[in-house]
Chain A
Amino acid sequence: MSLLQVKKLRVSYPGAISAAVSEVDFCIERGESLGIVGESGSGKTQTALAVMGLLPPNANASGSVMLHGEQILGAPTARLNQLRPQKMAMVFQDPMAALNPYRCIGKQLRTILRAHRIATGRVARDKVLSMLQKVGLPDPERQYGAYPHQLSGGMRQRVLIASALIAKPDLLIADEPTTALDVTVQAQILKLLQALRQELNTALLLITHDLGVVAGNCDRTVVMDRGRLVEEGSTLRIFAAPVHARTGALIAAAPRLDVAAESAPPPANELPLLEVDEISVSFRERRAGGGRQLRAVLPISFTVLPGETVAIVGESGSGKTSLVRAVLGLLPRNTGSVGFLGMALADGVRQRSNETRRQMQMVFQDPVASLDPAMHVSSIIAEPIQVQDPGTNAAGITRLVDEALDRVGLSQDLRARFPHELSGGQAQRVAIARALVMQPKILICDEAVAALDGTVRRDILKLLLAEQRRSSLSLIMITHDLAVVRQMSHRVLVMYMGRLCELASNDQLFGAPRHPYTRALLDSMPVADPEAVRQEIALWGEPSSMLQPPPGCVFHPRCTYAIARCKEEVPAVTECANGRVACHRAAELDLSTNP
């Protein structure tokens, strides 16, 4: 008898056109790991909530969900509370929202033990401490009394996992457990889940949109699309020979590092379009009487050639967004200068001329938030025209707007829509149209595809590549996603805690990186290939506090190759074969990618 058996599960909401989940069948055996993959809206989370009995009161759920042969769909809350979390538990996507901000984490875990009469008092506290240690919290005694806002994202997720596993359930459901985390932390958390799962013989139901995560963590996989289950099978089989078109599309859109870049680099002997020279950015903490200084970006230089794509890679806190904003003039810079076609640019965007401003435009991460919710699509795209060429008459504006819509592949029916009436992909296209209508020479994409689903993401990236080919547009892509870097960039700039680690060409970076951090990033990336050899944990710990950076090389606390010198001396940026690196041991280390 299977541990969990789901038959003909259907979840619908009043007023919705189609069911959120329909006709879903699957089962999980003891100790097995099953992955549910699908894009957003495919019904994965609804399925999980239905199994756990956590659907909102207005949901209609029918079908059968059997745990250990007992029907739990529609079971009374009292019975469900006996099963949760002792037989089944769940870990959610956003650990900050999932933890009570008003209670310290130790108490939150202890309440579980007390409520289920597993343990009380001293015994309970000890159990909590040992669980916290097991999930990898560095200082359980001290962190017992910590509040969620005092912990980092990775630590919060560990606490959530601890709360789920403390009662030793038979089934653990993890809904996008690592989506909100940096990629190096993601690798740690996934490894942790695997280790704990094996130790406690817990079955794992892993829900994700990321095929790489599924490939490396699940024995079997289920693919969902628009509420329906479209394919099921062993992970190996699904990746090797997908049957359903949807599965094929997902796999095709999955990020891969082993394919070549899509476009050839532009001729290198051209004059640089953009020259960034020793730009640095710092902030002061907002506190009465002056706070501490936060050096978000330390002096960095790089250039961008016409028709080239430069990727700026880094995790949260790396300073990549601050760097680019300073270049654009949206943030004041501390030191350094920016030159465009040889001409120095003013510090603030307001002081630059219209001519200059139109040359560099930006597309942002949240497509809907980057569009004014009170404006129609046509007004949004028309605004740059009105500002840059105020004399243009109405007919001219309409023509330009229609051309722009056409160029980004949107139908003219969308002219009168408001941003909240658009899908994520459509909104991003509008944002791109707005940016391109002025024919800029440089387009900066700040995590422009991070919030989009796989297939939509692929289409947007194709659009950008087509524009680049068409008009020799230069792209600066800020991202944490190495697959996007691999596909799109010619040169790559890797940043860590505001500092430059490495600058290299695309092939060089992926084939033979020179900085240990780059190596760790590459190794942390989940690869959408179940047969790929998984590395051991690439990187432990998390980035240090930006307000009190470690002495010497800021990366040294986490670096596997650190030596004594790294603790004392800040590595200088040194030139090497068509690139730069800031590491004391760059010359002697061989960090090439194994074939």
Chain B
Amino acid sequence: MSTLVALQQLGSQVRRSRVVLVSGGILLAIGVIALLGPLLSPHSYLDTDLDRRLLAPAFAAARLFGTDDLGRDLFVRTMMGVQVTLLVAVVASIVSLVIGVLYGAIAGFVGGRVDALMMRAVDVLYALPFIFLVILLMVAFERSLFLIFVAIGAINWLDMARIVRGQTLSIKEREFVDAARLIGVSPIGIIFRHITPNLFGVVVVYMTLTIPQAILVESFLSFLGLGIQEPQTSLGALVNGGVSQMEQATWVLLIPAGLLAIILLCFNFLGDGLRDLADPRKQAT
């Protein structure tokens, strides 16, 4: 119930920030086009057409982005790339969110020895060269989408856990929690009624940062050839393909690269904007 109230508050504040609205809007637009575009196009992401390789972008024959080196329609493939990239990012972020929030909230709330132990574990894990281990993972096992989710989720939850734990600790020290204890609210009640709604802001802001991180990891893996496998594709894989065609057909590189850059930029601006909203405005009456 208090969570709904916190959401409401956030919603009304969002309207005040132009940055948030614009970047959010762009992301939404990209998402919609990515979903609808392939449905509207006559081409499929699979069809190779060796007679029509590396065509430049043109409106004719609905080749909006041209074709790649195997004659596949680039528009449809790029849109698919966007779908996959965003899907992986969001799902992996949710995975790391759930793990991170639970871990951090428990550590912060229980405190004492348990907290110290849990945070030591995080410290040890934090120092692991995750990217390299993930690459190793991709090398060693079948490259499935599931594995990618797991890998990316496993990287990001640490940051979220730390942030949530820190926030939980500071909330726990606040006097309104003492007041609740005096009233007789049970520890479970305190967690759900007082701590969780106040974690909201921090979690939302961090989500907007973990999503681009997840995108980067997935794209990085795909760029190296260790991520998503043919014939499916993601933006990272498309960029990889584009690099080899860089000199003859620059658009094969520029289009997916540009889209990737725009998506990441929007998420970063969104995160910045939300973070600005959360802090100083609360003070102003």
Contacts and interface: CB of A to CB of B under 8 A. Distances in A.
The answer to whether any beta carbons of A and B sit under 8 Å apart in the complex is: yes
Contacts of B248: none
Please classify how large the interface on chain A is, using the bins under 10, 10 to 19, 20 to 34, 35 or more. Answer: 20 to 34
A55 to B, nearest CB: 19
A362 B180 CA distance: 10
B9 A418 contact: yes
A387 B179 contact: no
Contact of A374 (B9, B175, B186): B9
A434 interface: yes
A328 B182 contact: yes
B18 interface: no
Given A361-B183, A438-B183, 11 more contacts: A357-B182, A364-B178, A369-B174, A370-B174, A372-B2, A374-B5, A374-B197, A375-B5, A387-B185, A420-B282, A420-B285
A594 B140 CA distance: 89
Interface of B: 2, 5-6, 9, 174-176, 178-187, 189, 193-194, 197-198, 200, 282-283, 285
A379 to B, nearest CB: 7
A574 to B, nearest CB: 34
Interface in A411-436: 418, 420-421, 423, 431, 434-435
Contacts of A431: 179
A380 to B, nearest CB: 8
Most buried by A among B178, B183, B198: B183
A420 B198 CA distance: 14
Contacts of B200: 374
A369 B175 CA distance: 6
Interface of A: 328, 330, 349-350, 354, 357-358, 360-362, 364-366, 369-376, 379, 383-384, 387-388, 418, 420-421, 423, 431, 434-435, 438
Majority SS at the chain B contact face: helix
B185 A330 contact: no
B94 to A, nearest CB: 23
Contact of A371 (B176, B197, B282): B176
Contacts of A372: 2, 176, 180, 194, 197-198
A418 B182 CA distance: 21
B139 to A, nearest CB: 40
Contacts of A361: 182-183
Contact of A373 (B178, B179, B189, B282): B282
Contacts of B183: 357-358, 361, 383-384, 387-388, 434, 438
Contacts of B283: 420
Most buried by B among A354, A365, A372, A431: A372
Nearest to A421: B285
30 contacts: A328-B182, A330-B181, A349-B181, A349-B184, A357-B182, A358-B184, A360-B182, A362-B178, A364-B175, A365-B175, A366-B175, A370-B179, A372-B176, A372-B194, A372-B197, A373-B176, A373-B198, A374-B2, A375-B2, A375-B197, A376-B5, A383-B180, A384-B183, A387-B184, A388-B183, A420-B282, A420-B283, A421-B285, A431-B179, A438-B183
Most buried by A among B181, B187, B189: B181
A267 B180 CA distance: 33
Contacts of B184: 349, 354, 357-358, 384, 387-388
A354 B184 CA distance: 6
A365 B2 CA distance: 25
B179 A434 contact: yes
Contacts of B185: 383, 387
B182 A387 contact: no
A374 B198 contact: yes
Contacts of A358: 183-184
Nearest to A383: B183
A474 B178 CA distance: 20
A366 B185 CA distance: 21
B12 to A, nearest CB: 11
Contacts of B181: 330, 349-350
Contacts of A369: 174-176
A330 B182 contact: yes
Contacts of B189: 387
Contacts of A350: 181, 186-187
A568 to B, nearest CB: 39
A329 B9 CA distance: 34
Contacts of B5: 374-376, 379
Contacts of A362: 178-179, 182
A103 B162 CA distance: 30
Contacts of B174: 369-370
A357 B185 CA distance: 10
A432 to B, nearest CB: 11
A375 B2 CA distance: 7
Nearest to A352: B184
Contacts of A388: 183-184
Nearest to B284: A420
Given A374-B9, A387-B183, A379 B178 contact: no
A364 B177 CA distance: 11
Given A357-B183, A418-B9, A330 B178 contact: yes
A434 B185 CA distance: 14
Contacts of A373: 176, 198, 282
User: 7 tightest A-B contacts by CB?
Assistant: A374-B197, A370-B175, A364-B175, A357-B184, A372-B176, A384-B183, A374-B6
Contacts of B187: 350
A376 to B, nearest CB: 7
Nearest to A288: B116
A510 to B, nearest CB: 31
A447 to B, nearest CB: 11
Nearest to A373: B198
Contacts of B285: 420-421, 423
Nearest to A385: B183
A405 B158 CA distance: 45
